[in-house]
Every structure is written in C-alpha cells, then in structure tokens.
Chains A and B, each alone.
Chain A
Amino acid sequence: MPSIASLRLIDFRSYAALDAAFEPSVVALYGPNGAGKTNLLEAVSLLAPGRGLRQAGVGSLARVEDGMSQPAWGINAQLHSLEGDIDDPTRISIGQVPEHPRKRQLKIDGRPATGPELARRLSLLWLTPAQDRLFSGAASDRRKFIDRYALAFAPDHGTNASRFEKARTERNRLLSENVSDRLWYEAIEADLSNYGARVAQARMTTVTNLQIEVSARKTAFPQSLIGLDGNLENRFADGADLTTVAEDYRAQLASTRSIDLRAGRTLIGPHRTELHVTHAEKAMPAALCSTGEQKALLIGLILAQARAVHDKEPILLLDEVAAHLDAVRRAALAEELLDLGLQIFMTGTDQSLFSDFGARAQFFHVADGALANLDGMEE
C-alpha cells in the first residue's frame, strides 16, 4: 500500500489552509504544545475508516473562527503510487460539505467511496497519549485496541464487528421489552453467532500473529505476553473451527435466553472479551507496571504489529512518544523505526527529541497553523 505524498488541509481544526509534501520515511513534527502537531496527525488518522485518533465527531473538526465553525472542511491526501504504469496517484478526500453538516464525506479520486474501499488503500497504526491508560482503563478500550489491529489481518473485521453489534442491540431490545417470540430470537441469534464467531476468530488470529512478532525480536522495549479471555476466543484457542464455534454460540444463546431475559441484555459473547497483556520478563500484569513501563510495552506492541502487517505498508502515527523515553530507549526506537522502512509521522515538543534520526528523517517545525520544512539535522 502506498504512503502519503502530500496533504492539503482546508479549514480543518487549527489549519485554515495547509499544503505539505512528505517523504515515504520518518516525518518528525516538532513545535510547542498547541501548535497543531496532533491536529496534523489526526488529519492523517482520518484517512482510515472511523473517527480518527481523537475519536472526534464530524461536527467538531471544522476550524472555528470568531466563535463560528466553518461550514465545510477538507483533508486531501495524494498517495505515493505503487502502480508505475499509470501516472496518476490516488487522491483521498475526507471532509464535510455545508449541505450535510452531520455527515462525513469520503471520496477516492473524486468519486464517493466507502470505508472498506478506503481501508484497501491505506493502512494506519497509531499510538497516542490517550492510550497511556489502556491497560488500567476500561475493557472496552482494550477490545477497541485489538479490534483496530485486527483490521489489518481481517479486512472484513470492521463490517463483522458492526453487524455483530447491530444484532446484539436488536436482541437486547427484545430482551428488555420482554418479547417472547422464539422465531424472532432465533433469526437474530443466527446473525449474532455468525458474526460473533468471526469477530472472535479475527481477534485470535491477531493476537497469535502479534505474539509471534513480539517473541521473534528482542528490542529495548519489554516483551509482552498477550492473551484473550472470552467465551468464543477460548474455543478457538482450544482448536475449534469457525463453524463449530458459531453453532455452539448459537445453541448457547438459545439456552441462556431466560437468564438474559432477567438481565435484560445479552450476557455471553465477544462483547465481554478481555485482552490481557503481561510484562513477560517481570511476569507482571501490564496494569500493575509503572507508567513508563506501560508506555514501553505499548511501543513494543505497535512495533510488533507494524512488523506483523509489514506487507501492507502501514503508516505509523506516534504522538508524543519520544518524550516519555530515556536516551537509550529513544535511540533504540529510532533504529527500530528506521529499520521498518515505513512512513512514520512523529510529534514532539523539541527537535532534540529526534536527534537520533540525524539526516534520516524529514523535519517540520509546526507553529501558528503552518509547517516549515527543515533539512535533516547534522549528525
């Protein structure tokens, strides 16, 4: 998959108008807090299906001037093309038009497109300060984390997960309204079990691949033991196949209907799965590790994921990552990232945080809604 050759922002967040061209390698963005570095990373993150790295609603992305949101905004990305024979690289347009203020518009090469079409063009991975609480926070955040990684292994994962959620919402409605129509439940449970099993299978595949990559390479970042604990995931771990897991889940849903009726919701399924991460060397659950070690574990995971899906050439977005590391780990991270050979956008408050990259990165100073391109630093 290609990387981002250039980016044009119009009325997006702090940027009235921005044009920037990027190399398909490490892009270091530095500048004071509030200068708009994360906004730029967010713009890139919106080139993947979903709400981007801030999980922001479409209405909150327009630039605000004199207290008024601009009626339209746009992110236009030109991709470095891989197909050399047709000299017309793909252009992705994301934004909002005044006619439909609540709807995010998406175009590929000027034509309306869908999220899955976008996912086939670009693969993105990110690490942000918001993930610092991943291990100690809500289980749903950890499921979201692994589900995002799963998209790279199973392109249908997003669709399957939303179909599962839709079926679960339907069933919960019947349960909470005390509906007793057996055939209605059975129809919903057929979908629920089918998509639920696919969701669980994709997660298992992801965790398995991720663990292989984590164990295969010793870096300056601690190795994790990654595990999933969920009814369906555990079946896959025991070697059951997709059909069996789906059929058994369906039978289970039928037999627990009366219990679910009392609870008013579906109690068993991949929506209850827990992702467990353990610091391998210390044999300590990640949530009990120091803040610094949790960050290091996360970096280890994103590096492993980048290696695991390397053939898809994911673009990495690392927001304020270097600042948390000591000099040794910072140098190690630079080598790991350069070794990946991917396009990687990094932010930091100070240029010196990226000194390990020397001349091997593209540097931009971010200030006042503008980018200034600077040559690589002297070694």
Chain B
Amino acid sequence: MSKHSVSPEIDRLISLLAKLPGLGPRSARRAALALLKKPEALMKPLALAMGDAAENISTCSTCGNVDASNPCNICATPTRDNTTICVVQDVSDLWAMERAGAFRGQYHVLGGTLSALDGVRPEDLNIANLIRRAGEGRVAEVILAMNATVDGQTTAHYITDHLETTGVKVSRLAHGVPVGGELDYLDDGTITAAMKSRRPF
C-alpha cells in the first residue's frame, strides 16, 4: 500500500495504533478499519473514553497505581491492611491480584524490571519510593510478587538487598508460580495459593 493512496488522517490513525503492544502494522490496519466502519458505535465512544482517561487518570504518587484520584482508591481505603505492601511489576499485575481477591493490603507498582537490554536502571523504576515507604515504621512485611523471569528475580534480589536496612520482613510468592510465569496470565486460584504460601526471600 503506497503512502499516498491513504488519507493522512487514516495513515496517522494506523501509525498510532501500531505503537500499541500486541499490534503490528497489519493488525493496526485491521483495527483502524474496524473503527472506521463503526464511527458512531465504536470510534467516537472510544475517542471520548480515551480523552476522558487522558484527562482524569493519573499515577498515584504513593504506590504507582493508575486511578482517577491521587492517592489512588486502594491507598485511600482505610479498611485495607496498611502493614503489608505487595510489590508488583506493572499495574496489570495489580489488577490480576485484585481480580483474584487474594490480597487486602497495599501495593507498590515498580513500572517494570531491571533490564540491561531494555536500558532500565534502578533509578528508572519506582524503587526509591518503595524503600521510603517500607521505612515508615508501620510496615511489617513487603511481599515481592515479581514475575518468575530472570529480570523479575534480579529485580527482587536488588530490592531485597536495599530493604535490609529497614528491618521489614521480605517474602515472595513461590508455590504454583511457574518459571517464566507472569502474574497477569495466572488464574485467580493460582494467585491465591501463591499468596498464601509465600515464603521469606
């Protein structure tokens, strides 16, 4: 398809869609077409929803979750256990934990894992904030729920070393999480079991 045969509006739409995870140029073209075919039922509501989210959603300055309020709803709920922090890689992992209903404490979203290949260094992650939170006194336990990948475990080790000075108990999910497994892909039962059988790091 030559660039000139497609209008700049469509070209731009496809280019932006192609930047989404899981979409390549081909699937981006299909998605753009699907939107264009349903302007009233799909495209305009989607544009509105995206505008709305872009306008109102922000990152929680306490835990790194995304929500319409800051601090987020989880951090602001007084009935949640504030002596335990569960550390996850991404918001999608937080969502997986919440879906499973396996945890009633606070979260901390790192925003990724340490990775030389991807150029992610400790200062790029939400680690300093975690160490500060853990040292605040009321926190008794930090649960590391990183993915069972090499990068996830490297990150877990790095954090454990840095939490040593705070004196809090550090544990990790173990049972049932397969090697290379990502939290987001696990079923609720597996997550609950992993949470129950956590062990000291």
Contact = CB atoms under 8 A, between A and B. Distances in A.
Interface of A: 8, 10-11, 17, 70, 72-74, 76, 83, 85-86, 88, 93-99, 105, 107, 109-110
Contact of A11 (B19, B116, B151): B116
A76 B117 CA distance: 7
Given A17-B121, A74-B115, 8 more contacts: A72-B116, A76-B118, A85-B12, A95-B117, A96-B116, A98-B154, A109-B19, A110-B118
B150 interface: yes
Interface string B142-164: 00000001110010000000000
Closest 8 CB pairs of A and B: A76-B119, A95-B117, A74-B116, A72-B116, A10-B116, A74-B117, A8-B119, A98-B150
Contacts of A105: 117
B92 interface: no
B27 interface: no
B117 A96 contact: yes
A11 B154 CA distance: 15
A88 B19 contact: yes
B121 A72 contact: no
Contacts of A93: 117-119
Interface string B107-122: 0000000011111010
Contacts of B21: 110
B194 to A, nearest CB: 22
B53 interface: no
Contacts of B19: 86, 88, 109
Interface residues of B, number: 15
14 contacts: A10-B116, A11-B116, A72-B115, A72-B117, A74-B115, A74-B117, A86-B15, A86-B19, A95-B117, A96-B116, A97-B115, A109-B19, A110-B21, A110-B118
Contacts of B57: none
Contacts of B12: 85-86
A313 B151 CA distance: 36
Nearest to A10: B116
Contacts of B117: 72-74, 93-97, 105, 107
B16 interface: yes
Contacts of B150: 97-99
A95 B12 CA distance: 31
Given A98-B150, A99-B150, A74 B16 contact: no
A86 B17 CA distance: 11
Contacts of A76: 118-119
Interface string B91-131: 00000000000000000000000011111010000000000
A70 B150 CA distance: 14
A17 B121 CA distance: 9
A72 B154 CA distance: 11
B169 to A, nearest CB: 28
Interface in B1-36: 12, 15-16, 19, 21
A70 B16 contact: no
Nearest to A104: B117
